[in-house]
Structure 1
């Protein structure tokens, strides 16, 4: 429908006003979310502290050479690989409690069978460490069991929920995660 001339401009204006009024009439205070009814009892939820709200949670990093782990049958050659594990992601969660920073670190990855591999349970040596400057304030290494099969890659998620350090006065904590067999057998220790 075309409105031409001076009368057409008035009709177009009237049509726009009429459409706008129609749309406004479709809106009512009972449509959508009623705020007074949406209140829930949050008494069972944990309260967020100011420190947590600030959001400082140390980053998790991988050191060079710790993202991959191979096991061999005999000599360390590509033909003798039993299992090859790789860390694909790391994450962390932080909480401030009683003047301490409590952290949970998660390490995700996958394991592939090599030419000499077979289905079964393997142990992955995973270490999580926290450093404040050059000082180690937390370190733990655990063998983590993973059930591998011959149907492609096996995914795993390792979690260390036990990290607790004094509440930092600066953003000076670094978390490292990775594979670590510890000292080599026969190696001298201090």
Structure 2
């Protein structure tokens, strides 16, 4: 083999080696099972596992209190028996593998005795709503319980609601609301007035 042929063969081999990384980078996804191509793409013979979403990147809005839902009163003979108030509110959000967000909400509150009250056990409904505009994603009502012992004028309650799933399509745009009292009743559709009878023939 002549020296010229040897130089041509060496040049062809060098070009082939240099082209291999570029071909590996442009390979179709089905080539990810090729250990040789994976060396150039991932630095190893196998594709590394995908990193899970970071909790720091998850959208987690602050909690709003529903209108009129920050406090409740119970009456006894026209006198205030108890005054119930919301206290600290907290929430946490974590990403799920399917792109949805799982929300946990914590609610603390206090029950105060009024002039007509006496120590004992008191229940109050707490409603938690996750929504997107007028679309309700989840609404849960729980009975919170507080005990006011003898000789005391107040007691506290805590509600922790877990496992509220927000679909992936709404995971970047939803609201959280908390309020004392039950879930609001849906508005009634207005009644249709009966059609006026046709005029009598004259």
Query: How far is the alpha carbon of 1:50 from its aligned partner?
Result: 2.3
Give TM-score scaled by structure 1 length: 0.64
SS in 2 for 1:53: helix
TM-score normalized by the length of structure 2? 0.60
Q: Does 1:74 align with 2:77?
A: yes
Q: Is the 8 A contact 1:101 1:168 kept in 2?
A: no
Using the alignment, how far apart are the partners of 1:63 and 1:159 within structure 2? 18
Moved >2 Å (runs of 4+): 48-51, 167-171, 181-184, 187-190
| 1:83 positional shift | 1.0
Change (3 A) 1:188 1:116: farther
**Any idea what SS the aligned residue of 1:181 has?**
coil
Measured in 1, the distance between the counterparts of 2:136 and 2:57 equals 25
Give the total of aligned pairs. Answer: 137
Q: What do residues 124-143 of structure 1 show as CA deviations (whole Å, max 9, x unaligned)?
A: 11000001121001001111
Pairwise mapping of residues 57-68 of structure 1 onto structure 2 (< 5 A)? 57-68=60-71
Deviation at 1:71, TM superposition (A): 1.0
CA RMSD after TM alignment? 2.4
Q: Indicate the larger mover: 155-164 or 101-110.
A: 155-164
C-alpha distance in structure 2 between counterparts of 1:53 and 1:67, whole Å: 30
- For residues 100-139 of structure 1, the aligned pairs below 5 Å read 100-139=100-139
Q: Which protein has the larger Cα radius of gyration, Structure 1 or Structure 2? A: 2
Q: Contact 1:58–1:171 at 8 Å: present in 2 too?
A: no
The answer to whether the 8 Å contact 1:146/1:156 transfers is yes
The verdict on how the C-alpha distance between 1:115 and 1:130 changes in structure 2, with shifts beyond 3 A counting, is: same
SS across alignment from 1:118: coil
* Cross-structure match for 1:162: 163
Q: Distance in 2 between matches of 1:123 and 1:54?
A: 38
Residue 39 of structure 1 is matched in structure 2 by none
